[in-house]
Structure formats: C-alpha cells, structure tokens
Amino acid sequence: MAPRFIGLFRITARVGMVRYWMDLPNELSHIHTTFHVSQLRKCVADDSTVISFDNIRVDERLNYVERPIAILDRKTKTLLNKVVNLVKVQWHHPKGSERT
C-alpha cells in the first residue's frame, strides 16, 4: 500500500505470529484487512503526520499517484560504458513538497 503509512487504524485481532486484522474505514473497503507485522508501525500521535483520505489518489492497481511540480536540476553521469541522465524532481505531497 503506498503511501506506506496512511492513517491511524485499530488492530482488532492477532492472526498467527506475524499477522494482524485491522479495522479499516469504508473508504478503504477494497483493501484486504489482514496485514503483516512489517507493514505496521507504532503510532505516535501527531497532527502533522495524519493525511486526509480525500487527498490520496490511488489508481486501478492500488498505486499511489504523485504529481511532479517542477524539474529542479539535470545532470549527465558517465559510467564505465554508458551514460546515465539524472533528473531532480520536486513532487507534490500532502505533507509538503519532496525532492528526489
């Protein structure tokens, strides 16, 4: 699921040693409710880390859709036998702009 951490959800039951059932809202009803422990993180309540479900856009393959804002820098890196183009992009993100 991307973005990887999208909200605060209550764990309803433990299934086996490493799986948990989650209580998800109706907006996420198309997602399976059982998660592996590696997909979960302890919640530290902070209003700046909560993302509204209205701002999250997911395509038909359940991938998170991010929009680029601007191209900040371009470089060409020469390796042993090939040339690689590097582009630094500023992305629109609900918690603030991110540059990668």
Domain spans in the chain, listed from the N-terminal domain onward: 1-64, 66-100
CA 15, distance to chain mean position in Å, is 24
> Reduced to 3 states, what is the DSSP secondary structure of residue 34?
strand
Residue 68, pLDDT score: 83
Q: What is the pTM of this model?
A: 0.39
Residue 1, pLDDT score: 40
Q: Which pLDDT tens digit goes with each residue over 37-91? A: 888 877 766 666 666 666 677 777 777 777 788 889 999 999 999 999 999 988 8
Q: Which pLDDT tens digit goes with each residue over 31-43? A: 888 888 888 877 7
Q: pLDDT: is 62 or 99 the higher one?
A: 62
Q: How far apart are the C-alpha atoms of 51 and 6, rounded to whole Å?
A: 6
With b for 16 or more beta-carbon neighbours within 10 A and e for fewer, the 38-77 pattern comes to eeeeeeeeeeeeeeeeeebebeeeeeeebeeeeeeeeeee
Cis status, amide bond into 3, omega within 30 of 0 = yes
